[in-house]
């Protein structure tokens, strides 16, 4: 992922300091991501997408197309969030076509502090527990075995308002940081 970020940055003619100023991220963090010392958080990816737009998705593309992708527990890339927010594991390869994430929400946790929108269609399938999906001014309590598909251009977020952990799959096409 770091190589792709470096390529996007240099093609845009930006120094690390320039990119830091435009994203509100530190040049040190950006350098660590480029050198593969740190995986970018979802917040970092969203900040990068304000500069690179749809090109940010290229950071997830594999170098060569795969005939198949075998996703194994404890070998999957993780999207790191601040404490109290959702934890995601990427189940699909980085091909820029479809993203499927396994989300885990502890009691009282959410995917973000505020709703977020992006150009995509999103589908959430709850595996265990109940996940409340807020889409614009609507609230949907999605229980285990149920799914909700929605237009992700509307501000949305996921919350767990119960006392039990919840797990869910979210599919996004096209992938958007």
pLDDT by residue for the chain (177 residues), tens digit each?
A: 788 888 888 888 999 999 999 999 999 989 988 888 877 776 787 788 888 876 555 555 544 555 676 777 877 777 666 666 787 887 877 666 788 999 999 999 998 888 888 888 999 999 999 999 999 999 999 999 999 999 999 999 999 999 999 999 999 988 776
**Is the bond preceding 174 in cis, omega lying within 30 degrees of 0?**
yes
Q: What is the C-alpha separation between 135 and 138, in angstroms, rounded? A: 5
Number of domains the chain contains? 2
Do 33 and 117 belong to one domain?
no
Give me the domain span that covers residue 82: 78-173
CA distance 89 to 69: 14
Cα–Cα distance list, 115 to 1, 20, 107, 138, 159 (Å): 26, 24, 19, 12, 11
* Residue (of 85, 90, 91) closest to 114 by Cα position: 85
Q: Is 141 within a domain? A: yes
For residues 100 and 146, membership in a common domain is answered with: yes
Please tell me whether residues 45 and 120 are part of one structural domain: no
Task: Give pTM, 2 decimals.
Answer: 0.66
Q: Is 69 within a domain?
A: no
């Amino acid at each position: 992922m770091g190589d792709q970020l470096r390529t996007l940055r240099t093609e845009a003619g930006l120094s690390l300091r320039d990119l830091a100023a435009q994203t509100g991220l530190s040049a040190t963090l950006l350098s660590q991501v480029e050198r593969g010392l740190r995986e970018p958080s979802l917040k970092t990816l969203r900040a990068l997408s304000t500069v690179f737009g749809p090109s940010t998705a290229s950071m997830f593309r594999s170098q060569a197309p795969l005939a198949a992708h075998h996703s194994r527990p404890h070998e999957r890339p993780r999207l790191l969030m601040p404490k109290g927010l959702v934890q995601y594991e990427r189940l699909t390869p980085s091909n820029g076509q479809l993203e499927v994430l396994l989300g885990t929400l502890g009691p009282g946790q959410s995917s973000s502090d505020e709703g977020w929108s992006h150009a995509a269609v999103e589908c959430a399938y709850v595996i265990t527990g109940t996940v409340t999906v807020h889409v614009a001014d609507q609230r949907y309590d999605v229980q285990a075995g149920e799914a909700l598909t929605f237009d992700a251009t509307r501000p949305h977020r996921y919350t767990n308002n119960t006392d039990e952990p919840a797990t869910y799959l979210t599919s996004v096409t096209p992938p958007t940081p």
